[in-house]
Amino acid sequence: MNPKVARDVLPLVSNPDFAELIGIYLDEKISEQYKIMEQSVDTHVIYRAQGAASILRRLKSMKAEIQSSAERDK
């Protein structure tokens, strides 16, 4: 990640209210993708849900990624 972008976004992800609310939202969306994987018989739908779940999990770790990128450039 571009360190300047990381520094610009750092206040947003450091806000405890944001972190809690986005965590709840992402957990719900990840659960939805797991349900799709469990119930689907079409491999393309399963692969799409796996990719969506992977991206959602990465968004959950966004705070740590942004903080490490911002600190690297100091």
Q: Does the pLDDT value for residue 73 go beyond 70?
A: no
Greater model confidence, 63 or 39: 39
Residue 74's pLDDT is 59
Distance, in Å, from the CA atom of 65 to the CA atom of 46, rounded to the nearest integer, reads 27
Q: Could you report the per-residue pLDDT of 6-52, keeping only the tens digit for each?
A: 888 888 878 888 888 888 999 999 999 999 999 999 999 999 999 99
What backbone torsions phi and psi does residue 38 show, to the nearest 5 degrees? -65, -35
Query: Taking a C-beta distance cutoff of 8 angstroms, is the pair 33, 49 a contact?
Result: yes
